[in-house]
Amino acid sequence: MFNGFSKSQIGFRIILSILFVELISLASGVIMGLNIKSPTIIAACLLTIIISQLIAWFISENVKKSVRNVLSELAETSENLGSLSNELTVTGRKLADGSTEQAASIQETSSTLEESSSMIHQTTQNTKEAEILAKQTKQSADNGNVEMQTMLEAMEELKKSSTEISKIIRVIDEIAFQTNILSLNAAVEAARAGDAGKGFAVVAEEVRNLAQRSAQAAKDTAGIIESNISLSEKCLDISNQVSKSLEGINNDTHKVSELLEEISTASQEQEIGINQINKAISQMEHVLQGNALTAQESASSAEHLNTYSNTLKKIKEELTYLVDGGKEVEKRIIPTISREVEVKKEIKSQKLEVKIKPEIKSVPKVEEVKPKTEVKQKVEPIKLKTEEIKPKVEEVKKVKAEEVKSKAEEVKSKTEEAVEPKAEIKPEKEETKVEEKPKTEEAEKPKLELKPQIQPKPVVKKPLPKDTDKSVRPEDIIPLDDF
């Protein structure tokens, strides 16, 4: 079709020049009043034709030059756009990966925090119990002190009474001594009485024995009482020490109680703090989920961008064809169109995947998508790609794949219908270019907003699919870099 059109273009140009020459010859005929002979006219006509052809050729060459300049700029821009979109894709993936990792670590942190929260709660409980125990200990120490004081008093009493007993014992000892002397005197008297005093002497002896026994008993008792007194003195000393120790315990337990109270309040505050941190972490989790989604979306937007840059390249090729003609250009355009369809499928499949699986655990999906983008970058044969993509799409949802196909068909049909003049192509291209930038900016917004952004695509494709009628084999594909 393009071929025919270009031929007719040349014919059109010839006809136009002939018409132009005819007009000039007519005009010259009128001017000359038909006095000039036809050979002259014919010669003039021929000259005019040649001149006009030359002029036309010059004009077209100039136009071609300027168009070529524009085309080279266009090629450069589309190249930049392509690399930029690739970078964006990679960055978006990295961002998605990073936010996923972050989400995982945040979940770990959250669980750790919950554990420590429960630990702190336990600590608070323990501290409270310890506080109660410390108070009880203090009470016990107080009681012990009071009892110790009572014991001290009792000890003092014991010491006093021991001293009293000691005095009494001394009196008994004195009496025993006196008794002893008395018994000796009795013995003396008995001895003086001679035989008559013999019986009395025995009595005196017995009395003396008793006196000595009581003296011995008094002595023993005195010893016991002495040791009692010394022991009670020792007891007094020890009791005083115990009393001091109890006082120390009392003070220490008071301090312990205060410290425990402080610990209790501190751990309660800690608990509150941890709860706040927990809340903050869960909020962060939400934000991160959003971030992951946004990153995914921006990655897909970057892919759209890639598509647009491809479109741009196609447009450039068309223009080159229009300017230069030639069959090589035609071949190049077709693969790019079918690639666009493929990209669309991929984007749709990505969306579906994102919707199906949980938000945070989308890491594997991103990994699945990666090879696709790599494939794109490598520009492998179209058929292979479509084969790769189709099963994936079918896995996700057949219905969706069918929708994609139907959409692709719609696009094809639309492109068939839209055989528009060349002049109209340029403004459209410019429009798409202008639209691309805002899209990437908007890509950060939620999914729902992406749909309207994607819709303009068919508009872009309308001019492109002019060549889709012509079936192109994979071998015909030439790398875009050839431009």
Q: Exposed, middle or buried by CB within 10 Å (0-12, 13-18, 19+), for 297? A: buried
Report whether 357 contacts 365 (CB < 8 A).
yes
Return the number of the residue (202 or 272) whose C-beta is nearest another protein. Answer: 202
Report, in Å, the least distance between residue 189 CB and another protein: 9
Shortest Å distance, C-beta 208 to another protein: 7
Do the beta carbons of residue 331 and residue 475 sit within 8 Å? no
**Closer to another protein at the Cβ: 183 or 257?**
183
Cβ-in-10-Å burial (0-12, 13-18, 19+) of 400 comes to middle
Tell the smallest beta-carbon distance from residue 194 to another protein (Å): 10
Which three-class secondary structure state does DSSP give residue 483?
A: coil
SS3 415: helix
Chain centre distance of CA 295: 13
For another protein, the closer CB: 201 or 284: 201
* 219 or 365: CB nearest another protein: 219
Structure tokens that stand for 291 in this block:
């971030």
Q: Rounded to an integer, what is the distance from CA 184 to the centroid of its chain?
A: 115
Contact 222, 169 (CB under 8 A): yes
How buried is residue 350: exposed, middle or buried, by Cβ count under 10 Å (0-12/13-18/19+)?
buried
Q: Would you say 81 or 190 has its CB closer to another protein?
A: 190
CB of 228 to another protein, least distance (A): 23
Q: Which two tokens stand for residue 371?
A: 């090879």
CB of 153 to another protein, least distance (A): 35
The rounded distance, in Å, linking the Cα atoms of 268 and 178 is 84
Q: How far apart are CA 133 and CA 137, in angstroms?
A: 6
| Cβ at position 218, least distance to another protein in Å | 13
Give least dist CB 162 to another protein, A: 22
- Cβ nearer to another protein, comparing 43 with 191: 191
Shortest Å, Cβ 146 to another protein:
46
Where are any strands of DSSP class E within 277-426? none
Phi, psi for 373 (deg, rounded to 5):
-65, -40
Q: Which is nearer to another protein, 2 or 177 (CB)?
A: 177
- Phi first, then psi, for residue 277 (nearest 5°) are -60, -40
Give the CA dihedral 370, 371, 375, 376, nearest 10 degrees.
Answer: -20
Which CB, 3 or 185, lies closer to another protein? Answer: 185
d(CA 414, CA 113): 59
CB closer to another protein out of 165 and 175: 175
Q: Binding residues for another protein, per CB under 8 A? A: 174, 177-178, 180-181, 184-185, 187-188, 191-192, 201, 204-205, 208
CB of 161 to another protein, least distance (A): 24
Counted residue by residue, the chain has a size of: 483
